[in-house]
Amino acid sequence: MAIADTQVVQMRSNYCGLVTEALLGQTVSLCGWVNRRRDHGGVIFIDLRDREGYVQVVCDPDRADMFKTAEDVRNEFCVQVRGVVRARPDGTTNDNLKSGKIEVLCHELIVLNPSGTPPSQPGDGKKTVVDGLHAGAGLGGGAQATSARLEPQGRGGGMG
C-alpha cells in the first residue's frame, strides 16, 4: 500500500569526516556534536564531529531562523545540519583534516539534543572528577581502560 504525498526525511547522508571535494555543490545532511562554535563578526562557524572526523559548517545571517539557532548552540550540542558543500576560500584550508578543503554552507540547523557545559572538552587533557572515579576503579586510562571497555559480557566473572 503506497502513501501519497509522503516525503522521506533522511537524518544523515554522509559522515562529517567523509565530506570531501568529491561532494562539491551537493546538498548533504549531517548529524554530530558541536566540537567548537566561533562567531566571526556575524558569521558563525561550527566544527561538527562524528565518528569519522570533523567538518566545518558556516552559518550565514541571511537565513534568520537558522542563524538564531546557531547563536544559541554550544559545545557538545547534538545537531543536524543540512547544507551545500562548497570549497573553502583561498588561505582557509586545513590540510590536517580529510574535509579541510571544503565547508558546508548551512541551510537548516536542528538541535537534536542540547548539552549542559561539560566539565572539560573531550580531548583537552584536563583531569575531571569523572576521571578520578575511573582511576579509583582501575579505569583511569591506558590499557586497563581499553580492556575494560572491550571485555565481552559473560567473561571474567561479570554479570553477563
Same domain, 80 and 37: yes
Which distant-in-sequence residues (6+ apart) come within 8 Å of 86 by Cβ? Answer: 24, 25, 102, 103, 104, 105
Same domain, 73 and 125: no
Same domain, 103 and 146: no
Distances (CA, A) of 78 to 18, 74, 86: 18, 9, 23
**Nearest partner of 54 among 7, 20, 10, judged by Cα:** 20
The pLDDT value recorded for residue 10 is: 77
Same domain, 70 and 27: yes
CB 17 within 8 A of CB 53: yes
Q: Is 134 exposed, middle or buried (0-12, 13-18, 19+ CB in 10 A)?
A: middle
**Nearest partner of 120 among 132, 111, 112, 109, judged by Cα:** 132
pLDDT tens, 54-89? 999 999 999 999 999 999 999 999 999 999 999 999
Same domain, 87 and 59: yes
Domain assignment present for residue 11? The answer is no
Domain assignment present for residue 158? The answer is no
Domain assignment present for residue 139? The answer is yes
pTM for the full predicted model: 0.71
Q: 11 or 125, which is more confident?
A: 11
pLDDT tens, 103-141? 999 999 999 999 887 676 666 666 655 555 555 555 444
Range of the domain at 40: 16-113
Same domain, 102 and 126: no
